[in-house]
Structure 1
Amino acid sequence: MAADTLLLLLRSDTHRVTAWLRRGSVPAYVVPVGGWTAVVPAGSDARSSAPYDKSVPMLVARPVSSGLRAALCFAAIDDRAVLVLHPPGWRAVPRWLIWQSGQGPSGPTPFPSVRPTDLVSVAGISREDLPRVESVLRDTDQTADDLLHDLIDALGLPGAELLEAGAARHASGAALVEPDERSVRRFEKVTREERDIAEELKSS
């Protein structure tokens, strides 16, 4: 099974993205790419304890504030492609798409679904490119990694090469950002309290 990978593209400057990462629990590289700021995990482990100790799922699930949007997250987890679109706007709700080789997009999720038109709009490309994006999503013969590369290319977005192992570390302008220890401790405290409450509810 291939290692999990992730590329997060945000329409914000590197200073804001760096500050956002420091408030989290995932060490990551920040790379300026073609008008976007890319985030790529620096290894597979987050600084938080299990079950929140894996970098890719933590970044996939992390909310993106309005000052950092629009944002597009492209990830491969357990041989599935996961797309999370964070539209611009104060009250915008993230949209998700989960895609698997041999099956294509999965059925409904608990979250609003990503539509090809959403991707075209946030990427800023012409509606004339919509059929190409739809064609990529319909191609179930490729792997999750291939799907991510083809989709990034179809959307005219930069950074696909950063999905390759070790590429972000050597990219032009890349900077490693470590999470702030106080932020990690706060996160651990909150999740520990949530687990304790859940256990109390089970036993009551």
Structure 2
Amino acid sequence: MTPTAPPPDHVGVRPTALVLLAGVRTEIAAWVSRSVVPLATVPLEGWTVVLGTGSTPVGAPYDDAGMLLAARPVPPRAGPALGFFELDGRAVVTVHGAGRRKGPTWVVWEPDLGLLRPPGLELAGPAEITRAAGAPAEVRDELVDLLHEKRARPVTMLQAVMATLGLPGARLLAEPARVEELPGTTLHQPAGRQVGWFEDAVADSVRLRRELGALG
């Protein structure tokens, strides 16, 4: 294991946040290096596993490490990619298709309710998920049946989706500390400069939206 920096004081509770990327390794490394979320990365069965390892130093309301990682776009050459998250008691899957230049498409599942359709999110279809995972086409029907299940814990559902798609790393969702035992694991801690750039960009975006709203 090769840490890139010593862990800072703010690193605390690990988010349930895992992203699998199958693109160009150098593109993935560049994407990781710009993250404001502490991460661990490890090559596993043809994928690069990226795992959230702690809290983000970014100020509120962007201090939710899992949500920040889930919403972050993946560059086209770093994908395809799939993300698996537990957010607010829900199982969330994100899909970044190969060559996709926009943000992710989403699957949101809640115990006792099943699949949800949150307004404002572009939903991922089962064929799109299966294709991004590189799974056989017939897996689509298995995935549809699984996502209609309503009695499971969010992490259990995420692990079941990963197993159905034949993806590696499902155990890390429940036992994230195990990533540090895997050969080739590298740790990334956000640089202060990167955090500053992120917060400046967010402030500029909020300011622009307010100004455009005022014009309307």
TM-score (norm 1): 0.89
1:81-122, Cα deviation, whole Å (9 max, x unpaired): 111100012546621111001111102532321111111111
Structure 1 residues not aligned, in runs of 5+:
none
Q: Which amino acid aligns with 1:58?
A: L
AA at the equivalent of 2:65: S
Percent of paired sites with the same residue = 32
Counterpart in the other structure of 1:142:
152
Q: Give 1:131 shift.
A: 2.0
Tell me what 1:193 maps to: 204
SS at match of 1:166: helix
What's the counterpart of residue 26 of structure 1? 37
Q: Which amino acid aligns with 2:143?
A: V
From the superposition, tell whether residues 114 and 190 of structure 1 become closer, same or farther in structure 2 (CA, over 3 Å): same
Letter of the 1:84 counterpart: T
The 3 A distance-change label for structure 1 pair 129 and 191 is: closer
Of 137, 143, 167, which residue of structure 1 is paired with 2:178?
167
Question: Is 1:86 paired with 2:69?
Answer: no
Q: What is the distance in 2 between the residues matched to 1:89 and 1:198?
A: 28
Q: Are the counterparts in 2 of residues 26 and 46 from structure 1 also a CA contact under 8 Å?
A: yes
1:124 pairs with 119, 131, 134, which one? 134
The two structures, once aligned, show a CA RMSD in angstroms of 2.3
Q: CA deviation at 1:4?
A: 4.1
Q: Distance in 2 between matches of 1:191 and 1:9?
A: 26
Residue in structure 1 matched with residue 75 of structure 2 by the alignment = 65
Cα distance in 1 for residues equivalent to 2:177 and 2:206: 35
Q: Which amino acid aligns with 2:180?
A: R
Please state whether the residue corresponding to 2:177 is helix, strand or coil: coil
Partners of 1:149 and 1:160 within 8 A in 2: yes
Q: Alignment partner for residue 182 of structure 1, among 169, 187, 193?
A: 193
Equivalent pairs, count = 202
Alpha-carbon shift at residue 189 of structure 1 (Å): 1.3
Kept in 1, the 8 Å contact 2:106–2:123? The answer is yes
Residues 142 and 182 of structure 1: is their aligned pair in 2 closer, same or farther, counting only changes over 3 Å?
Answer: same
Could you tell me how far 1:197 is from its partner in structure 2? Answer: 5.2
Alignment deviations for residues 99-148 of structure 1 (CA, whole Å, 9 cap, x no partner): 00111110253232111111111111212222211121011111111100
Distance 1:48 1:140 in 2: 34
Match of 1:157 among 159, 163, 167: 167
Distance in 1, Cα, partners of 2:80 & 2:191: 25
Alpha-carbon offset, residue 180 of structure 1 = 3.1
1:111 lines up with 2:121 in the alignment: yes
